[in-house]
Amino acid sequence: MSAHDFLVELGTEELPPKALNTLADAFMAGIEKGLQAAGLTYSAKQVYAAPRRLAVLITQLATEQPDRSVNLDGPPRQAAFDAEGNPTQAALGFAKKCGVDLSEIDQSGPKLRYSQSIPGKPTLSLLPTIVEDSLNDLPIPKRMRWGARKEEFVRPTQWLVMLFGDQVVDCTLLAQTSGRESRGHRFHHPDSVRITSPANYASDLRAAYVLADFNERRQLISKRVEELATQHEGTAIVPPALLDEVTALVEWPVPLVCSFEERFLEVPQEALITTMQDNQKYFCLLDAEGKLLPRFITVANIDSKDPSQIVHGNEKVVRPRLTDAEFFFKQDKKQKLETFNQRLQNVVFQAQLGTVFDKAERVSKLAAFIAPRIGGDAQRAARAGLLSKCDLATEMVGEFPEMQGVAGYYYALADGEPEDVALALNEQYMPRGAGAELPGTLTGAAVAIADKLDTLVGIFGIGMLPTGSKDPYALRRAALGILRILIEKKLDLDLVKTVQFAVAQFGVKIKPAGLPEQVLEFIFDRLRARYEDESVDVSVYLSVRALQPASALDFDQRVQAVQAFRKLPEAAALAAVNKRVSNLLSKADGNIAQTVEPKYFDNANEFSLYSAIQQADQAVAPMSASRQYNEALTRLAALREPVDAFFEAVMVNAEDASVRANRYALLARLRNLFLGVADISLLG
């Protein structure tokens, strides 16, 4: 079967830069879906995306659909005809469904059957519908109209190229009649561009100062920005999202280095970087020590004969924004950071829970409670907690919300606060997302835990629990943040006592009954998802959860030990034994004796198991006490042989009550050895 290349390019006004890649990928996916549904084969595909165009190139697309056979089974013969042989409604309905007369239906088999051979259609006739369906299915939240037209799209359309081989695919889509005339660069080549063939699409446009391939432009910008940064003895900050956005803004990228006055470097560099990246789409430069250089890189969409004009224009535009940041910084520094708490006394955190200042006071006390328990300083944690929300009332954060915490750090340093107190003002928000950075100081860790726990307790205390996808106070993220800090930084904090302290701080603002248990359940439930992501079997989590450890770090250490234990050859048998023992003990009449009396033994295997348990107890007790859970479970694995021998030779439920009670006491000793780490009877 013969094949030709197929090209479709839709020209528009400038497309939304942040959505360009999504639109291009969806356009490609829609066309692929249509080709596959039509049974059309091809050898390769390529998507193009630039500010004023979306295009797809399909290489070696079959010129015609293959012939298809349609076989439809109808009702059984006995249901299709009555006793006199007249057709029933079932038979007539099947014929109508097939679009033929009943006489054309095959009635020779046990069921009515209709077979039809459908000749394949020419690809040329199918392409307009395939492209139209793909355009209609693009993920466009809000479509727009232009002029007096009824057609709707994300931006007004300007031209349409559709070529199949050397032939134009005749159609009209989104008010544009197809042809082979594209458009070049707005300024370098405003005239139309004749696409000589689908395969020459990219090269024809390149000659007209348009790089249609998104990835090619992206790589060019990245490489040139890196080269320019090196020339100016710096390193460029190139966030992937910013690089994508800049790539989507230009057809013919020309990176240029600009500069600003060094006096602006007195302003916190995070504020300068934020305004240059977010508002101007510039790439900032850092020196070898990570300090901001008074230079930035802009990416022009034109190859100017006098680049200095573009450089001067960008320097002129950025200056007022940097001046604003400088003004806010100087205004804020006219007063001590702590004084901003006065403003926060009038800012509501949550109507039932009080103001932001109320929260800061609670965080201060809770951080002071936490700090010494994780090896930190209570006084500094209390100070950091009291200052933790101050920068929310500053001019800087009012203008640059991303600066919360960061602004506080700079203002605290300027006020002469200790380094760890200043750092804690930013670290309180850590981790800011999944896998994000954790607090680097113990003071910061204490404040971060206190801030998150205060929110959890307060919101739970007024009954505003997260439901489904709704979690307006980001309580799930807060719980995960607490767990990450404690586990990854190896901080051993009793969460039970800490949550109880946090609850007590709210007084009558919340309903405390059952609240600590509810909050703890919510926090430790987040561990379940964490372990699932790490491919830890849920039964391992449940075996530790059954013991309800108060420390997240202790919980994790037990989980890791049980996960390793499951890989031992003895694990499955010992888990089964523990389950059996658990069931037996649950059915025991009365209290189980605390001590085992060897005088009641009447079987050598009882003596063997008792001896093995005593030896294991002496070895394992110090291991469990020092949280050497891996070593403890490895040692307990040696009990498999005496345990198996015991159950093979001994009837636990002996007729003699004293013997039976003694055997229950022996099994309770065995079970308690394992419960020092986890309830392995729950292992699947």
Please report how the helices 214-231 and 20-37 are oriented relative to each other, as an axis angle in degrees rounded to 10.
150
Percentage of residues in the chain having pLDDT higher than 70? 99
CATH of 338-535, one of 3.40.30, 1.10.287, 1.10.3210, 1.10.3470: 1.10.3210
Closest CA to 248 of 449, 17, 410: 17
Q: Is the pLDDT of residue 326 over 70?
A: yes
Instruction: Specify the pLDDT at position 250.
Output: 97
559: exposed, middle or buried (Cβ count in 10 Å: 0-12, 13-18, 19+): buried
Please report how the helices 629-636 and 657-675 are oriented relative to each other, as an axis angle in degrees rounded to 10.
140
What's the whole-number mean pLDDT along residues 84-90?
85
Task: Choose between 148 and 340: higher pLDDT.
Answer: 340
Token pair belonging to 519: 């909050």
3-state secondary structure 71-126: EEEEEEHHHHECCCCCECHHHHHHHHHHCCCHHHCECCCCEEEEEEEECCCEHHHH
What confidence category does residue 26 fall into, taking pLDDT thresholds of 50, 70 and 90? very high
Could you check whether the bond before residue 431 is cis, i.e. omega within 30 degrees of 0? Answer: yes
Q: Burial letters for 641-650: b for 16+ Cβ neighbours within 10 Å, e otherwise?
A: ebbbbbeeeb
Give dist(CA 322, CA 14) in Å, integer: 28
Cβ proximity of 381 and 368 under 8 Å:
yes
Amino acid, single-letter form, for residue 330 = K
Cβ proximity of 8 and 151 under 8 Å:
no
The yes or no reply on domain 3-65+122-206 and CATH 3.30.70.240 is no
Q: Is the pLDDT of residue 588 over 90?
A: no
What's the whole-number mean pLDDT along residues 554-574?
89
Q: What is the CA radius of gyration of the chain?
A: 36
Token pair belonging to 560: 């890791």
What confidence category does residue 1 fall into, taking pLDDT thresholds of 50, 70 and 90? low
The CATH architecture to which 565-682 belongs is: Orthogonal Bundle (1.10)
What is the SS3 assignment for 517? helix
Q: Is the pLDDT of residue 589 over 70?
A: no
Give dist(CA 625, CA 639) in Å, integer: 20
**Which of 239-243, 357-361, 669-673 is least confident?**
669-673
Give residue-wise pLDDT tens across range 362-398: 999 999 999 999 999 999 999 999 999 999 999 999 9
Give residue-wise pLDDT tens across range 357-371: 999 999 999 999 999
Question: Structural domain boundaries of the chain?
Answer: 3-65+122-206, 68-118, 214-332, 338-535, 565-682
Mean pLDDT of the chain: 92
What's the whole-number mean pLDDT along residues 426-450?
95
| Strand boundaries in 495-542, DSSP class E | none
What's the whole-number mean pLDDT along residues 403-415?
95
How is 22-78 classified by DSSP, letter by letter? HHHHHHHHHHHHHHHHTT---SEEEEEEETTEEEEEEEEEESBPPPEEEEEEEEEHH
Instruction: Specify the pLDDT at position 575.
Output: 85
Give residue-wise pLDDT tens across range 187-207: 999 999 999 999 999 999 999
